[in-house]
Amino acid sequence: MKTHAREILIYYNPNSSSDRKTVAHAKSTGLKIKSFHHAQAPSTRTSWKTILECLEMHPKDLLNKADPYYQSNLRGREFELEDWLNVLKRNPGLIKSPIAVSGRKAVLCTTPTDIYKL
């Protein structure tokens, strides 16, 4: 997954008003914006590894721990890195969003203005 420093990729939930605001803030930067529904998040472990390296996060930290699926199937379990990457790949609805990527930088936007950290 390559991005240019003048381009922002955003994986977001279009049903979330906060996520839509983040996309709006990104569009105000004047950079080229490519936005994707969170279900269209990267489908390979390699892409997830790259994003996680840019975020400096562990895969488990990207998961919504309040989600019922997480609570019933993943809570309290420990996996190897490759297994956590598979969880991300197979369960895009569990992933906290929006995630913005530009060049070798990425940010998990907990507020719409976090997009400016890129």
Per-residue pLDDT band for 32 (boundaries 50, 70, 90) equals: very high
Q: What is the pLDDT of residue 106?
A: 95
Q: Does the structure show a pLDDT above 70 at 4?
A: yes
Q: What is the pLDDT of residue 5?
A: 76
Mean pLDDT of the chain: 91
For residue 117, give the amino acid letter: K
Q: Name the fold adopted by 7-117.
A: Glutaredoxin (3.40.30)
Q: Mean pLDDT over residues 74-82, rounded?
A: 94
Compute the Cα dihedral for 113, 27, 36, 55 and give only its sign: negative
pTM comes to 0.87
| Cα of 110 vs its chain's centroid, Å | 11
What is the Cβ-side half-sphere exposure of residue 24, based on CA atoms within 13 angstroms?
9
